[in-house]
């Protein structure tokens, strides 16, 4: 703990609660702290506070975490950066690691994960300083004593062996002369097996070796004779291919090639995160298709009723036109046509809402009017509500600001909550959907309240877990509320639930609000 106070850590997050939680954990661990409420303020803090480590949220107003990371790596490469991501932001986490972030942690902040990430950053910072000292030493020239030379050799050996990335060095004949512990772990060949016995070609299959040599001689990856962040696969002792990110540079003595050194980063963990992100996207779409299936029969009935009315009006007008000697019926026909037009427009609106919800489109954050969002969800659910003998109360404040998010995903969240409310009232009841600005003016509160059977206290803590469901086997697969929770997290919001058995349930969504003019 006493050693920790010498380490200065800057926390950048626009959410005061998150800054307070992180500061509390790191203060207890003995670190010296400073905080900033946005990226620009954090950059300015770095000048006076001079932190060793910066912990920054990715999504922030004005200047986001990736911009902070890029700025620091351009002007203050000695500072280690840990980024904070929300659920499902694996693409941003991968991008941050590619920009040389030390690590990433997810919200909500876990005590152990945070401390571990800080310790890793400390180790990386110490290794970086050692490397800088060693480079400075080489620039100043060789020492004059054999003792100093031996110390340098020992230090160099420790530096290579302690590197978290693999280091592979080959001489002019491509024979391995440097092979560190990280490569032993990554590829399965021991140092004794590799050193002075294996060649560079032993770690590639022939097509990948040819592609590597071509890239090394081209300029696309920083060359010629220099390779930066080139992705390929190396072959392990067991014959498996390991995806890696490889940087390489030629070692030359004048015009003579002495060999090359490669720095190898194992990409298996990044690939695992990418797969996790893809799985989350599939889960989100699967839940949408389940909701769409639940809507299908209801919407068919909803459209059938007005279409039957339109058809009856048209047949009635045809029959009147065929009757001779009837007085002028233009006023009556006009009324019939107006009613038919209204009914057809209503059908078109229902179909349009359904198609918008069903379409698989990329996530697009924009300003979303909350009243229109609630109205569309209730329109799609109206027939199910009527069949279930459920009355609806909808209230939206007149001064309601928009929220920043993806309308399709927010649509999916609210439909999940409405469907759950309908299921909770099999004998009928009342559904209240309300939206209003929060007292602080910075967020919008959306509540979905039913008068149904309620949720048991022992079940309540588990309702947002994937594949957890209280419905009978085969009825649902338990993705709805887990998906809803994930979507709200990605929108930097919160969702809470309060329920009492036999008295109903209230879900409260809180989302960041924009300027009321942003929805225009």
Please say whether the dihedral angle defined by the alpha carbons of residues 291, 354, 510 and 456, taken in this order, is positive or negative.
Answer: negative
* In a shared domain, residues 113 and 188: no
Question: How sure is the predictor about 432, in pLDDT bands with cuts at 50, 70 and 90?
Answer: very high
Q: What does each C-alpha distance from 377 to 108, 111, 325 come to in angstroms?
A: 29, 39, 50
CATH of the domain at 202: 3.30.450.20
Bigger pLDDT: 12 vs 310: 12
CATH number at residue 492: 3.30.565.10
Q: Are residues 277 and 261 located together in one domain of the fold?
A: no
Domain that holds residue 429: 272-519
Question: Poorest-confidence range of 1-15, 89-103, 335-349?
Answer: 335-349
- Please report which confidence band the pLDDT of residue 149 belongs to, taking 50, 70 and 90 as the band edges: low
Q: Residue 12 — pLDDT band, cuts 50, 70, 90?
A: very high
Residue 134's pLDDT band (boundaries 50, 70, 90)?
confident
Is the domain of 212 the same as that of 351?
no
Sheet with 103-106, strands from edge to edge, namely 32-36, 8-12, 53-57, 80-85, 103-106
With CA atoms as reference, report the closest residue to 164 among 54, 80, 68.
Answer: 80
Residue 305 DSSP SS3:
helix
Distance CA 12, CA 82 (A): 10
Which of these ranges, 157-166, 262-271, 275-284, 508-517, has the smallest mean pLDDT?
Answer: 275-284
Q: Distance between CA atoms of 282 and 288, rounded to whole angstroms?
A: 10
Place of tokens 């620039």: 139
Main-chain dihedrals φ then ψ at residue 142, nearest 5 degrees? -70, 150
Does residue 115 carry a pLDDT above 70?
Answer: yes
Residue 146 falls inside a structural domain: no
Where is the domain boundary, 111, 132, 153?
A: 132
Q: Does 476 have pLDDT greater than 60? A: no
pTM above threshold 0.85 = no
Q: Are residues 103 and 220 in the same domain?
A: no
* The pLDDT of residue 185 is above 70: yes
Q: What integer pLDDT is reported at residue 431 of this predicted model?
A: 95
247 and 185 in one domain?
Answer: yes
Q: What is the mean pLDDT of residues 160-176?
A: 83
Highest mean pLDDT (candidates 95-99, 391-395, 454-458): 391-395
443 pLDDT higher than 80: yes
Lowest mean pLDDT among 5-14, 223-232, 305-314, 489-498: 305-314
Q: Is position 139 within any domain?
A: no
pLDDT at 390: 92
Question: Rounded distance, CA 370 to CA 401, Å?
Answer: 8
For 107-129, what is the mean pLDDT?
86
Would residue 260 count as lying in a domain? yes
Give the distance from CA 495 to its chain's centroid: 17
Residues of the chain above pLDDT 70, percent: 75
More confident residue, 14 or 515: 14
pLDDT, position 96: 82
Flag whether 439 is in a domain.
yes
pLDDT at 186 over 60: yes
Residue 482 has what pLDDT? 72
Q: Average the pLDDT over 11-32 and give the result.
A: 90
**Phi and psi at residue 377, in whole multiples of 5°?**
-65, -40
Same domain for 170 and 27:
no
Average pLDDT over residues 161-174: 83
Domain total in the chain: 3
Same domain, 205 and 237: yes
pLDDT band at 55 (very low <50, low <70, confident <90, very high): very high
**Mean pLDDT, all residues of the chain:** 79
More reliable by pLDDT, 493 or 2: 493
pLDDT of 39 > 50? The answer is yes
Q: Identify whether 154 is part of a domain.
A: no
| Claim to verify: residue 172 and residue 103 sit in the same structural domain | no
Q: Helices 480-490 & 268-322, crossing angle to 10 degrees?
A: 110
Give the residue from 251, 266, 281 where a domain finishes: 266
Report the C-alpha gap between 359 and 227 in whole angstroms: 42
Q: Place 520 in a pLDDT band, splitting at 50, 70 and 90.
A: very low
Of residues 220 and 193, which shows the higher confidence score? 193
CATH number of the CATH domain containing 62: 3.40.50.2300
Q: Which of 80, 91, 89 is nearest to 107 (CA)?
A: 89
Q: Are residues 429 and 503 in the same domain?
A: yes
pLDDT tens-digit map of 77-107: 888 899 988 766 778 888 888 888 888 888 8
pLDDT at 297 over 60: no
- Least-confidence region, from 43-47, 122-126, 435-439, 458-462: 458-462
Q: For residue range 345-381, what is the model confidence (pLDDT) as tens digits?
A: 666 656 655 555 555 555 678 899 999 889 888 877 8
22-26, 238-242, 330-334: segment of lowest average pLDDT? 330-334
**Strand 366-368 with 403-405, pairing:** antiparallel
The answer as to whether 148 is a domain residue is: no
CB under 8 Å, gap of 24 or more: what pairs does 347-350 form?
347/303, 347/306, 347/307, 349/379, 350/299, 350/302, 350/303, 350/379, 350/380
Tell me which of 65 and 138 has the higher pLDDT.
65
Cβ atoms within 10 A of the Cβ of 297, count? 12
Q: At what angle do helices 330-358 and 407-423 cross, to 10 degrees?
A: 100
Domain's final residue, options 266, 281, 305: 266
Secondary structure (3-state) at 275? helix
Vertex 12 angle, CA 82 and 88, to 5°: 55
Kind plus residue range of the DSSP H or E element containing 367: strand 366-368
Percent share of the chain, pLDDT over 90 = 14
Cα–Cα distance for residue pair 355/197, rounded to 1 Å: 64
Token pair for 399 = 């001064």
- Statement to judge: residues 77 and 196 lie in one domain: no
Residue 407 domain-assigned?
A: yes
| Euclidean distance between CA atoms 503 and 187, whole angstroms | 61
pLDDT tens sequence across 195-210: 888 998 899 989 998 8
**pLDDT score recorded for residue 137:** 66
Tokens found for residue 121? 């950053």
Nearest of 517, 495, 519 to residue 508 by alpha carbon? 495
Does 118 lie in the same domain as 72? yes
Within a domain: residue 309?
A: yes
Based on the number of CB atoms within 10 Å of its own CB, is 233 exposed (0-12), middle (13-18) or buried (19 or more)? middle
Where does the pLDDT of residue 475 fall: very low under 50, low under 70, confident under 90, or very high at 90 and above?
A: very low
What is the reported pLDDT for 436? 93
3-state SS assignment for residue 45: helix
Same domain, 296 and 201: no
Helix (H), strand (E), coil (C) string for 155-223: HHHHHHHHCCCEEEEEECCCEEEEECHHHHHHHCCCHHHHCCCCEHHHHCCHHHHHHHHHHHHCCCCCC
């Amino acid at each position: 703990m006493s050693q920790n106070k010498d380490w200065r850590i800057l926390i950048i997050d626009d959410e005061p609660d998150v800054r307070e939680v992180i500061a509390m954990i790191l203060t207890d661990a003995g670190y010296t702290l400073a905080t900033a409420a946005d990226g620009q303020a954090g950059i300015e803090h770095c000048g006076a506070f001079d932190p060793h480590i910066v912990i920054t949220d990715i999504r922030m107003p004005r200047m986001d975490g990736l911009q902070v990371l890029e700025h620091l790596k351009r002007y203050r490469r000695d500072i280690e950066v840990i980024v904070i991501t929300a659920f499902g932001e694996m693409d941003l986490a991968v991008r941050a690691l590619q920009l040389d972030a030390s690590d990433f942690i997810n919200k909500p902040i876990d005590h152990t994960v945070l401390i571990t990430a800080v310790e890793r950053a400390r180790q990386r910072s110490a290794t970086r300083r050692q490397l800088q000292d060693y480079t400075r030493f080489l620039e100043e020239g060789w020492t004059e004593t054999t003792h100093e030379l031996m110390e340098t050799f020992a230090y160099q050996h420790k530096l290579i062996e302690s590197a978290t990335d693999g280091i592979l060095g080959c001489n002019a004949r491509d024979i391995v002369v440097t092979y560190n512990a990280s490569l032993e772990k990554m590829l399965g060949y021991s140092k004794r097996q590799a050193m002075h016995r294996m060649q560079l070609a032993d770690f590639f299959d022939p097509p990948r070796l040819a592609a590597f040599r071509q890239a090394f001689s081209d300029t696309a990856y920083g060359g010629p004779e220099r390779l930066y962040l080139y992705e390929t696969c190396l072959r392990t002792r067991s014959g498996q291919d390991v995806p890696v990110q490889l940087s390489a540079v030629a070692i030359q003595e004048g015009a003579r090639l002495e060999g090359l050194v490669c720095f190898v980063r194992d990409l298996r963990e990044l690939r695992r995160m990418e797969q996790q992100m893809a799985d989350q996207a599939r889960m989100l779409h699967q839940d949408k298709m389940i909701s769409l299936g639940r809507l299908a029969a209801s919407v068919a009935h909803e459209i059938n009723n007005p279409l039957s009315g339109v058809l009856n009006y048209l047949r009635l007008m045809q029959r009147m036109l065929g009757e001779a000697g009837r007085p002028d019926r233009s006023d009556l026909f006009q009324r019939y046509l107006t009613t038919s037009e209204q009914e057809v427009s209503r059908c078109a609106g229902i179909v349009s809402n359904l198609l918008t919800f069903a379409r698989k489109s990329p996530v697009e954050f924009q300003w979303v009017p909350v009243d229109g969002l609630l109205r569309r969800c209730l329109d799609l659910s109206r027939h199910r509500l009527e069949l279930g003998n459920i009355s609806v109360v909808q209230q939206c404040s007149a001064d309601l600001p928009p929220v920043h998010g993806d309308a399709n995903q927010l649509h999916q969240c609210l439909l999940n909550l409405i469907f759950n409310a309908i299921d909770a009232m099999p004998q009928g009841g009342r559904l209240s959907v309300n939206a209003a600005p929060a007292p602080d003016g910075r967020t919008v509160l959306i509540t979905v309240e039913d008068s149904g059977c309620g949720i048991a206290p022992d079940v309540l803590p588990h309702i947002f877990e994937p594949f957890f469901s209280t419905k009978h086997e085969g009825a649902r697969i338990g993705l709805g509320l887990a998906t809803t929770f994930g979507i709200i997290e990605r929108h930097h919001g919160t969702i809470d639930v309060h329920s009492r058995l036999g008295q109903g349930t209230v879900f409260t969504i809180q989302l960041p609000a924009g300027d009321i003019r942003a929805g225009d």
